[in-house]
Structure 1
């Protein structure tokens, strides 16, 4: 009978951990269908499984422990990602905007909190600084669009460093229980202690980190444990001087961000563990705090939520508007600045949780703030994407190419590698200083030493026999549980800009659900060339390149056109079928004037091309959020891919870095 007795909420450690891991695993997949960000999905799931939802989990000491670590982890990663070097490239604009985006929302928050919401003094200050802070949730969008070097984006990054630092300083003061007659002395003492603490962290942490990373090389996981220890030390020290531990975690991130390369394996470990464990559990714990009964208790919560959301957006928009006038930005740059800084997430969660746990704010303000986080994250992503695309479309065309391009060629069968290496070596001629990296990924069950040596020997033999190109090819053999993950990791390690791979199989039902190698590679940032040929490269007499609208604005456009121009033999034909005839001049500027190919241009739209045996067609599959993304184009390309008997094609996916 015990099996059927009430067991909720779960109490056994194993059952609790199993439930949490299941939630972390399933939540992103479920909410991705309705385009809800991962941050919001974990909070919503916390509401559903928490004591005010289905009561599957109780917010016990284990949840609180992971939550505490997760909160520190969020602030530590925020410090790591805010590179102070960015402040130097746009120092004036960053300072102007940083002060504006702190002061204006703060003052607006004071007026609204005191006069409209009728909050106490300490709660007023806490809610006001919540309006000042922001998180660059939408920054990955501008990276994909290739506008991360625009002055407005650099201003947003630099301004974030300034405003978040000021917010955390005021937070450390606002959460103290000072007596009225000693307020001035206590604040002065806290500022003095904080100054000494900041000096010690920024002076000694980098020195200790450099020594540790230089001398402790035997066990790489120890480097990650070292970082966690440094975060804990900094957070503990911050708490001892009277400030919040999250400030210590943030300072540790700022102090160590120059010691950890952004593309290093250690940084990958930091992101991986945080995003897979600590941060999701923390967000689930936040959701478990939300009392759903308040949602139906009356109109007060919806009134407070509306006021907070309106104030949050108004403060950040006014800051962007005033900064635009002072810095002479365009309207589009103002909108991009507003989009990047209008989202409230990491620091906002930290501030509001501290206020709730210290009983400074009530459950209504807490719940309303969660809605602010959800709405602002969605709106910020929409505005940033729209404004970023307009900046790209309005910018002047440039024919600059990357100076350090590297090509990675994954090989599954050494005997069928001729076309792939042939294409890659044609591309490589644009950058003779770099070899072509030929990689073979072995599954775990094939990772015996004898098998690795056998496959590597076969690869090297075929490379040596392929037109004597062994001096320009470098062979790599890897063992990984997933072929696609191994390719992506190798691309990051070798800083590859282009991946050339074979692609001939149609997706099965299971592959459409969980993704094949092509689908997984779409999540990378490199330019992809998926090759599907039933003949040798030299047997084709005509290359037809189908150019969709706005492709010219992709960061990798020039590189792609120049590479494709290298494919045919001198006597062959290269035909560009252009959807938008206005883009013709920009395509012509990428092709050398002294060109021996027979090049012609014509318009075609999205029609499915014919399948002549001596032709190979180059089509573009566009990533979502890219400036040239067009559903109609992608649908036409996918129809072509699935068309029976149509095999001679190169599918190009433009990269964004």
Structure 2
């Protein structure tokens, strides 16, 4: 099989090209590390930079990377398989179920119209029917590169947005089906009867693979318990078993990889294993594939060769027209507004994952030539840059479910005010330097709500409970709890210290919080800790992604009792901002402090729009039910972060809301503005967020896009 043969070739020739291959690999790693950062600073998706960098490194540029390198080709092939596996793993079945009819309808439009127009264009350009149908299928799918943008804008609940996300499943499946049929016809010259037999085998294989892998995965995960390492290896093994099985049946390997991801989708959920799978793919394997793609493609021919240039331009025009036509049909059938229609169009524009995977396989099988491949890559680069850019412009301010009284009481502070639940705060104690301020903050909150604090210490477990390290960890945890209990007595609040033995700090914290029905988790955030932490080994990142209740990540420069002026910047007015405003008001009532809710609009915003926004903010804040509503300020400025930084000089504490979204790798959906503020503010900071499912936006000022992951 292909991968086995590559390994054998690699072993046979390792002595010949090892120095050159290792050097090329080092260069590629430097590119993967640096280039995406540069392009994202320019508001351009990093994958575009990777492909362009590969072009410069290849034989059509500086010739630093050999196209015949066995190591690079092997890693690129693994990256290709992993890309399609991630595409299947990231299919959002929840959106499809909730909006099934509309997703199927728009999916048919966004798949069928580009397929027909693309095939017609290819026939006009002189391609035979099989190749023309493949080219049409390359335009029929789309990658949700704009997903992180709409998530940060808080418009995921918009009906048109949800429909577009759900329709992505149908377009991917349809494109892969057409691709597999075209490929097998080209390779085996099947007649009609043989083609029907192939489709039958494909159906049987897909059904058995999805059902079998789901069952096997469920049993393995049940028996392996919390062993994430073995679960990770099981999933990777499943991917390559699926690709090997597909090749044995004459099915292209990317079909097997996609089906493996789809089969394990619901099983993995949004847990730590899935996050690690995404991390490995998005950080290393998939970027290597994009760089290697650039090495193999002559993008200069798109400009220097007139025929290639004409084909690329025509493909771009057909893509824009066909996707827009699909969105317009969705508008008239489902009665969407024009802003929603443009959002659907921009979300369905990017051609990345499935399109590139199918085109590179088609090129290797000689079903499409280098001219078509170069044109498709140029199409990918343009659509991947244009789609998210349009999404960030047209999706801001989309209407979703309005904030109702029921929505307003979703936060634990509001629930306690209505007498629903006792207010309980879990404070993990580990760092003695930050412990006192965290306990003071928790005491301030529970004193107002007449609740209690649960100081929590996690002792690290071992294979044997009588191991010396377990005893040492228990003794240290007991000392921390004694200190925390003494602090709570001095602060005059009820404390219920809890010592827990667990394999990992993050799991221990989130599990204990769930068992104790915690209303809030308060954690310390050191000065040297990045607000968007790495996946592996970071406690805060894991707790944020897994806990059932809101999490407050605090960096307190002084005692909370000394805080007199509090600023709450509001980037998107939605239910996520309720808890920060209420938290600020609790501080204010305890310390007789002043609270300001700040919103920054564009400098060219008219006075009437500013007045309307101020009215919306005042109305929103008044519904929170506070006895002393905070002051509302609107500032017109060309740079949101700089405006907030200037205003924050007069305040002791800034409370920044963020989105806890389990659909985003790492669990946090942080806008550029919030990220910059968290890094540059010198006063005390509290990062506060609730799960994304609780949000219901009212209006969303424009925010800039951040890094997007290939879906």
- Give the TM bin, normalised by the shorter chain: 0.7 to 0.9
Question: What is the CA-CA distance between 1:371 and the residue it aligns to?
Answer: 1.6
In structure 2, the CA distance between the partners of 1:603 and 1:62, relative to structure 1 (3 Å rule), is closer
The answer on whether the counterparts of 1:46 and 1:284 sit within 8 Å (CA) in structure 2 is yes
Q: Which residue does 2:484 correspond to in 1?
A: 463
Alignment match of 1:222 (pick from 230, 244, 257) = 230
> TM-score by structure 1 length?
0.80
Q: Measure, in 1, the Cα distance between the counterparts of 2:555 and 2:136.
A: 55
Q: Distance in 1 between matches of 2:74 and 2:123?
A: 34
Alpha carbons 2:107, 2:170 under 8 Å: kept: yes
Please state how far the C-alpha of 1:122 moved relative to its aligned partner.
2.2
Match of 2:695 in 1: none
Q: Secondary structure at the match of 1:386?
A: helix
* RMSD after superposition: 4.3
Q: 1:363 to 1:520 in 2, by over 3 A?
A: same
Comparing 344-353 and 355-364, the one that deviates more: 355-364
Matches within 5 A, 1:488-567: 500=522, 516-518=529-531, 520=533, 530-534=554-558, 536-539=559-562, 542=564, 544-548=565-569, 551=572, 553-567=573-587
Secondary structure at the aligned position of 1:466 is classed as helix
Aligned position for 1:4: none
The answer to whether 1:254 aligns with 2:241 is no
Question: Which residue does 2:439 correspond to in 1?
Answer: 421
Aligned to 1:267: 274
Give the gaps of 5 or more residues in structure 2.
1-15, 414-423, 461-467, 535-539, 600-612, 636-642, 693-711
- Partner of 1:589 in structure 2? 623
Query: Matches of 1:18 and 1:550 in 2, distance apart?
Result: 41
Q: Which residue number corresponds to residue 109 of structure 1?
A: 118
Counterpart position of 1:61: 70
Q: Is the 8 A contact 2:312 2:375 kept in 1?
A: yes
Contact 1:404–1:431 (Cα < 8 Å) also in 2: no
Deviation at 1:130, TM superposition (A): 0.7
- Partners of 1:163 and 1:195 lie apart in 2 by 17
Structure 1 residues 335 and 419: CA distance shift in structure 2, 3 A:
same
Q: 2:138 aligns with which of 121, 127, 130?
A: 130
**Matching of residue 175 in structure 1 with residue 183 in structure 2:** yes
Report how far residue 344 of structure 1 moved: 0.7
| 1:76 corresponds to which of 85, 103, 111 | 85
Are the counterparts in 1 of residues 32 and 50 from structure 2 also a CA contact under 8 Å? yes
2:609 aligns to what? none
1:46 aligns with 2:51: no
Find the aligned partners of 1:531 and 1:37 in 2 and give their Cα distance. 32
Q: 321, 324, 331: which is aligned to 1:314?
A: 321
* Corresponding residue number in structure 2 for 1:508: none
Deviations 1:354-390 (A, max 9, x none): 1211122222221121121111112211222223322
Contact 1:574 1:599 in 2 (8 A): no
- Shift in Å, 1:32: 2.9
Q: Aligned equivalents of 2:309 and 2:621: distance in 1? A: 53
**Aligned residue in 2 for 1:483:** none
Deviates more, 1:88-97 or 1:295-304: 295-304
* In the alignment, structure 1 residue 285 sits paired with structure 2 residue 292: yes
C-alpha distance in structure 2 between counterparts of 1:56 and 1:10, whole Å: 15
Q: Is the 8 A contact 1:123 1:355 kept in 2?
A: no
CA displacement at 1:638 relative to structure 2: 8.5
1:165 shift after superposition: 0.8
Q: 1:334 to 1:432 in 2, by over 3 A?
A: farther
Q: Aligned equivalents of 1:565 and 1:655: distance in 2?
A: 18
CA distance in 1, matches of 2:598, 2:487: 35
Answer yes or no: is the 8 Å Cα contact 1:46–1:288 preserved in 2: yes
Match of 2:638 in 1: none
Matches within 5 A, 1:327-476: 327-391=334-398, 396-398=402-404, 399-400=407-408, 402=410, 413-427=431-445, 452-453=473-474, 455-468=476-489, 471=495
For 1:208 and 1:161, the matched residues in 2 are separated by: 23
Q: Which runs of 5+ in 1 are unaligned?
A: 1-7, 481-485, 506-510
How far apart in 2 are the matches of 1:636 and 1:257? 35
8 Å CA contact retained: 1:426, 1:567: yes
Q: TM-score, normalized by length of structure 2?
A: 0.75
Which secondary structure state, in structure 1, belongs to the residue aligned with residue 392 of structure 2? Answer: helix
Count matched residues: 612
What does residue 231 of structure 1 align with?
239
1:304 and 2:311 matched: yes
Residues 619 and 637 in structure 1, CA contact (< 8 A), matched pair in contact too:
no
Map Cα deviations across residues 563-582 of structure 1 (whole Å, 9 max, x no partner).
22222446825443656632
Instruction: Please give the per-residue CA displacement for 1:112-145, whole angstroms capped at 9, x wherever unaligned.
Output: 2222x33222221111001101111111222222
Q: Does 1:88 align with 2:104?
A: no
Q: Where does residue 98 of structure 1 map in the other structure? A: 107
Which residue of structure 2 lines up, in the alignment, with residue 120 of structure 1? 128
Distance 1:539 1:84, change over 3 A: closer
Q: Secondary structure at the match of 2:631?
A: strand
2:631 aligns with one of 601, 610, 616: 601
Contact 1:126–1:174 under 8 Å retained in 2: yes
CA distance in structure 1 between the partners assigned to 2:425 and 2:61 by the alignment: 51
